[in-house]
Amino acid sequence: MGQGCLKVSKYLLFLFNLIFFLLGVLIMGFGLWLLLDKESFILVLNDDSSVKVGCYILIGVGGFSTLMGIVGCVGAIYEVRCLLGLYFTFLLLILIAQITAGALMHFNKPEMNKQVSKIVIQVLKNYPGNLSSTERAWDYIQKNMRCCGWNGLQDWDENMVIQNSSIELFPCSCRNSSTPAENLPDNGMCELTASDVFITGCSASVENWITTNLGVVLGICLGVAFVEILGMVLSFCLCRNVRAEDYTKVPKY
C-alpha cells in the first residue's frame, strides 16, 4: 500500500512539474513580449529603468520556474532526495518572493500611477515627430484608442514643437477619423485644429489595457503559486518516503 502511494505521489509530482514548467515558459514569454513589442504602451515607458527591471524580473522568474520544473521532474521520476530537497527549498523561496512582490505592487499602486503619468507627460512634451520607436508606439495608441494626450488634448500645449509653430499643430494620430482629410500621415505633426482631433485623453484606455494584461499576469502567477504549493507538499511527502537514492536510475549523458 505504501509503495503504491509512493508511486502515485511520484507521478503526480511529475505531472505538476510539467505544468509548472509550462507556466514558467508563459511568464518568460510574457516578459519578452513586454520588452520587445514595438507597438505596446510599455514601449512608451521603456526609458524608465523600473519598467525594464520589471520585464527582466518576469523573464528571470519565468526562466527560473522553467528550470525548477525540470529539476522537479528529474527528482520525482528518479527519486533523488537531494534534488527533491533542493526543489522544495527553491519553491518555498519563490513563493515568498511572489507574495512579497505582489504586496509591494498593491501598496505602491498610487505611486506607480503617478510615475506612469509623469513619464507619459514628458514623452508628449518632447515629442518632435521624427518617427522614433517611442513616438510610433504613442501614435499607435492614440489612433487605435481614439484619444489625444494623456489627460486630454490640452496636454499637447506643453509640446515644444507646437509652442514654436506659427500654425496650429497636433499629432496626426490625434485626428478624429470622422474629420475629412486628404493624404494625412498617421505619424508626426499635422496642421489640425482642436475641433479636428479627439478630445478625450488616453489615460483611461491605457489603464484598462494595463489592468487587462495585469490580470493575465496575475492569473498565471496564481496558477504557478497553486502548482508550487502542491509541488511542495508532494516533494516533501516523496522525500520522506524515499529511503535511499539509487543514482543508477539516473541516465548518464
Strand 189-191 to strand 169-171: parallel, antiparallel, or no bridges (unpaired)?
Answer: antiparallel
Q: Encode pLDDT of 91-128 as tens digits.
A: 888 778 777 777 776 676 677 777 777 878 888 888 87
Q: Encode pLDDT of 187-244 as tens digits.
A: 788 888 888 888 888 888 777 777 777 777 677 777 777 777 877 887 777 777 765 5
Burial classification of residue 112, based on how many CB atoms lie within 10 Å of its CB (0-12 exposed, 13-18 middle, 19 or more buried): middle
Span 29-35, average pLDDT: 75
Q: How many Å apart are CA 220 and CA 27, to the nearest integer? A: 7
Going by pLDDT thresholds of 50, 70 and 90, the confidence category of residue 252 is very low
> Considering the entire predicted model, what is its pTM?
0.55
Contact 150, 116 (CB under 8 A): no
Burial classification of residue 190, based on how many CB atoms lie within 10 Å of its CB (0-12 exposed, 13-18 middle, 19 or more buried): buried
Quote the crossing angle between the two packed helices 109-125 and 133-145, to the nearest 10°.
Answer: 110
Which contacts of 96-104 are long-range, i.e. CB under 8 A and separated by 24 or more positions? Answer: 97/61, 98/61, 98/221, 98/224, 98/225, 101/57, 102/218, 102/221
On average, the pLDDT of the chain sits at 75
Query: Strand pairing partners for 169?
Result: 191
Q: Exposed e or buried b for every residue in 137-158, given b needs 16+ CB within 10 A?
A: bbbbbbbebebbbbeebebbee
pLDDT at 155: 87
Span 24-32, average pLDDT: 80
